[in-house]
Amino acid sequence: MRQAADIGSKRLVSLAPDAWVQWVTGQPDVAAREVLGEEFQWVSRASDVVVRAFHPQVGEFVVVNEVQLRRS
């Protein structure tokens, strides 16, 4: 069952999308172009985030994040 905490990851990414994609990819030159959402029907959970990103050497690409939270 989805918990209310699941949507926190989308908020976190939307606060600093550039920092997020740089951290995820390990590349300081990556820039987030757009946080994508509802147009992807297969992204069904509140914790999934899709970001369109750009790297000067690679070009445009998509970063798909699935954040899973578990109690310890």
Alpha carbon distance 56, 36 (integer Å): 20
Domain boundaries, the chain: 4-66
For the stretch 30-66, pLDDT in tens is 999 988 865 554 545 555 788 999 999 999 999 887 7
Amino acid at 13: V
pLDDT band at 11 (very low <50, low <70, confident <90, very high): confident
pLDDT > 80? residue 9: no
Q: State both tokens at 3.
A: 């918990």
Residue 13, pLDDT score: 80
Specify the pLDDT at position 60. Answer: 96
**pLDDT of 32:** 94
CA distance linking residue 55 with residue 21, whole number of Å:
10
> Could you report the per-residue pLDDT of 15-38, keeping only the tens digit for each?
889 998 999 999 999 999 988 865
CA distance 70 to 34: 28
